[in-house]
């Protein structure tokens, strides 16, 4: 049987912005909780971790049934996808970013009645609509910006670090990702190394 894996779809220095001081960071770890809306309730379904070092980025999506990892470098046009389902492990080298992604339809800032603070960072809100019918409700901060702020391809036009986002799919399903921890500690290069002998290589 042939499998194809598809991705689910950041030296410290300071720069001044119109809203104050922004800190650009070259290394960080971001930890998200993932919840799905069911019958008006938010049900935990998994976690996502993002590791950024310079131009390298690694995202790890974990649920009770699978672990999917994407590793890419902004200076490269390819990426690795690792997928673990039980004892089965698969690895695939893909073109990155993929060419078959939905296109951006609209992108507009949203106002709020009160300030949005996530993990101590003041956030702004943006709504992004895509050609596949999905809608992203995004909260992002300009207080810190990693060198790889677009750890998801959908974030490439967001002017800051995405701290939470809710995806409303065309079929009505709603999934919310929210940062529960930001770690600015250094990351070792081994975080991005892969022992390919542990995986079945896919074309």
Per-residue pLDDT for 1 more than 50?
A: no
DSSP letters for 75-95: T-SEEEEEEEETTEEEEEEEE
Residue 192 reports pLDDT greater than 50: yes
Strand partners, 128: 107, 136
CB-CB contact of 176 with 156 (8 Å):
no
Q: If you average pLDDT over every residue of the chain, what do you get?
A: 90
Per-residue CA distances from 164 to 121, 129, 157, 186, 203 (Å): 12, 16, 15, 23, 34
Query: First and final CA of the chain: distance in angstroms?
Result: 12
Q: pLDDT-based confidence at 111, cuts 50/70/90?
A: confident
Query: Is residue 49 predicted with pLDDT exceeding 90?
Result: yes
- pLDDT of 201 above 90: yes
Sketch out the chain's domains with CATH numbers: 13-202 (2.50.20.10)
pTM, rounded to two decimals: 0.87
- Separation CA 68–CA 64 (nearest Å): 12
Query: Sign of the CA dihedral 117, 55, 168, 69?
Result: negative
Tell me the pLDDT tens digit for each residue of 50-108: 999 999 999 999 999 999 999 999 999 999 999 999 999 999 999 999 988 999 999 99
For 122-156, what is each residue's pLDDT tens digit? 999 999 999 999 999 999 999 999 999 999 999 99
Which of 135, 127, 93 has its CA nearest to residue 110? 127
CB atoms within 10 A of CB 104: 13
Q: What is the pLDDT of residue 20?
A: 53
Residue 16 has pLDDT above 50, yes or no: no
How many angstroms separate the CA atoms of 39 and 37, rounded? 7
């Amino acid at each position: 049987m042939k499998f194809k894996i598809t991705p689910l779809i950041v030296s410290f220095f300071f720069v001044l912005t119109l809203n104050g001081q922004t800190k650009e960071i070259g290394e960080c770890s971001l930890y998200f909780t993932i919840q799905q809306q069911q019958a008006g309730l938010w049900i935990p379904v998994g976690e996502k971790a993002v590791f950024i070092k310079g131009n390298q980025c690694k995202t790890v999506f974990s649920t009770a049934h699978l672990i999917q990892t994407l590793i890419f470098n902004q200076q490269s046009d390819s990426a690795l996808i690792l997928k673990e389902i039980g004892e089965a492990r698969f690895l695939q080298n893909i073109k990155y970013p993929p060419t078959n992604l939905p296109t951006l339809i609209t992108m507009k800032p949203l106002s709020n009645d009160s300030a949005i603070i996530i993990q101590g960072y003041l956030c702004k809100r943006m709504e992004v609509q895509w050609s596949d019918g999905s809608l992203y409700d995004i909260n992002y901060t300009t207080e810190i910006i990693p060198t790889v702020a677009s750890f998801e391809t959908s974030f490439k036009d967001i002017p800051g670090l995405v701290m939470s986002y809710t995806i409303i799919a065309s079929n009505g399903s709603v999934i919310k990702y929210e940062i529960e921890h930001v770690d600015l500690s250094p990351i070792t290069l081994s975080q991005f190394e892969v022992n390919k002998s542990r995986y079945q290589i896919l074309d």
